[in-house]
Amino acid sequence: MEETGKTTRDEIAAQTGLLIAAVRDARPLVQMITNYVSMDIAANVLLAAGAAPAMVFAPEESPEFVRRASALVVNTGTLSAPGAQAMEVATIAARTHGVPWVLDPVGAGATKFRDDTICKLLRHRPAVIRGNASEIMAVARLAGLTQEAGAPRGVDSAHETSQVEGLAQKLARHGLCTVAATGDVDIVTDGRRLVRLANGSPLMTKVTALGCGLTGYVGAFVGLGVDPFTATLSALAAYAVAGDMAAEQAKGPASFRTAFIDALYTLDASDIATRLRVA
Amino acid sequence: MEETGKTTRDEIAAQTGLLIAAVRDARPLVQMITNYVSMDIAANVLLAAGAAPAMVFAPEESPEFVRRASALVVNTGTLSAPGAQAMEVATIAARTHGVPWVLDPVGAGATKFRDDTICKLLRHRPAVIRGNASEIMAVARLAGLTQEAGAPRGVDSAHETSQVEGLAQKLARHGLCTVAATGDVDIVTDGRRLVRLANGSPLMTKVTALGCGLTGYVGAFVGLGVDPFTATLSALAAYAVAGDMAAEQAKGPASFRTAFIDALYTLDASDIATRLRVA
Amino acid sequence: MEETGKTTRDEIAAQTGLLIAAVRDARPLVQMITNYVSMDIAANVLLAAGAAPAMVFAPEESPEFVRRASALVVNTGTLSAPGAQAMEVATIAARTHGVPWVLDPVGAGATKFRDDTICKLLRHRPAVIRGNASEIMAVARLAGLTQEAGAPRGVDSAHETSQVEGLAQKLARHGLCTVAATGDVDIVTDGRRLVRLANGSPLMTKVTALGCGLTGYVGAFVGLGVDPFTATLSALAAYAVAGDMAAEQAKGPASFRTAFIDALYTLDASDIATRLRVA
- Note the pLDDT tens digit of each residue in C123-170: 999 999 999 999 999 999 999 999 887 778 887 888 999 999 999 999
- pLDDT of B225 over the 70 cut: yes
Strands B178-182 vs C29-33: parallel, antiparallel or unpaired: unpaired
* More confident site: C262 or B156: C262
- Mean pLDDT score, B35-46: 97
Whether A2 shows a pLDDT value over 60: the answer reads no
Chains adjacent to A (≥3 CB pairs closer than 8 angstroms): B, C
pLDDT (mean) for B210-230:
98
pLDDT tens by residue, C209-242: 999 999 999 999 999 999 999 999 999 999 999 9
Q: Please give the pLDDT value at position B7.
A: 60
CA A264 – CA A245 distance, rounded (Å): 9
pLDDT of residue A119: 97
Query: In the predicted model, what is the mean pLDDT of residues A83-110?
Result: 97
Residue A3 has pLDDT above 70, yes or no: no
Distance CA C35, CA C208 (A): 11
Give chain A's mean pLDDT.
Answer: 95
Where do the structural domains in chain C lie, given as residue ranges? 9-273
pLDDT at A156: 85
Q: Which residues on chain C are in Cβ contact (under 8 Å) with B262? A: none
Q: Does domain C9-273 have CATH number 3.40.1190.20?
A: yes
Average pLDDT over residues A14-35: 98
List chain B residues with CB under 8 Å of A77.
55
Q: Is the pLDDT of residue B186 over 60?
A: yes
User: Between chains, do B252 and C263 touch, taking CB under 8 Å as contact?
Assistant: yes
Look at residue C49 and tell me whether its pLDDT is greater than 70: yes
Q: Do A43 and C110 touch (CB under 8 A)?
A: no
Question: Residue B149 pLDDT more than 90?
Answer: no
Q: Output the pLDDT for position A149.
A: 77
User: What pLDDT shows up at residue C5?
Assistant: 46
For chain A, the straight-line distance linking the first and the last C-alpha, in angstroms and rounded, comes to: 15
Touching partners of B (3+ C-beta pairs < 8 Å):
A, C
Contact yes or no for A44 and C78 at CB 8 A: no
Over residues B62-69, the mean pLDDT reads: 96
Residues A135-189: tens digit of each pLDDT: 999 999 999 999 887 778 887 888 999 999 999 999 999 999 999 999 999 999 9
- Find, in chain A, the residue whose alpha carbon is nearest to that of C42: A40
pTM: 0.96
Q: What is the DSSP letter of C43?
A: H
Please state, rounded to an integer, the average pLDDT across all residues of chain B. Answer: 95
| List of chain A residues whose C-beta atoms are within 8 Å of the C-beta of residue C152 | none
Question: What percentage of chain B exceeds 90 in pLDDT?
Answer: 92
What is the 3-class SS of chain A, one letter each residue?
A: CCCCCCCCHHHHHHHHHHHHHHHHHHCCEEEEECCCCCHHHHHHHHHHHCCEEEECCCCCCHHHHHCCCCEEEEECCCCCHHHHHHHHHHHHHHHHCCCCEEEECCCCCCCHHHHHHHHHHHCCCCCEEEEEHHHHHHHHHHCCCCCCCCCCECCECCCCHHHHHHHHHHHHHHHCCEEEEECCCEEEECCCCEEEECCCCHHHHHCCCHHHHHHHHHHHHHCCCCCHHHHHHHHHHHHHHHHHHHHCCCCCHHHHHHHHHHHHHHCCHHHHHHHCCEC
C2 pLDDT band, cuts 50/70/90, is: very low
**Out of B3-12, C24-33, C97-106, which region has the weakest mean confidence (pLDDT)?**
B3-12
Contacts of B27 (CB under 8 A, 6+ apart): B50, B51, B52
The fold of the B26-190+204-228 domain, in CATH, is UDP-N-acetylmuramoyl-L-alanine:D-glutamate ligase (3.40.1190)
- Count CB neighbours of B99 within 10 A: 22
Q: Rounded to a whole number, what is the distance in Å from the CA of B248 to chain A's nearest CA?
A: 15
Whether C3 shows a pLDDT value over 70: the answer reads: no
Does B106 have pLDDT greater than 70? yes
Beta strands in C142-222, from DSSP E residues, in sequence order: 178-182, 186-189, 194-197
User: Which of A43, A55, A61 lies nearest to residue C114, judging by beta carbons?
Assistant: A61
Homologous superfamily of domain range A9-269: Ribokinase (3.40.1190.20)
Using 50, 70 and 90 to split pLDDT, how confident is the model at A7? Answer: low
Q: Do A60 and C205 touch (CB under 8 A)?
A: no
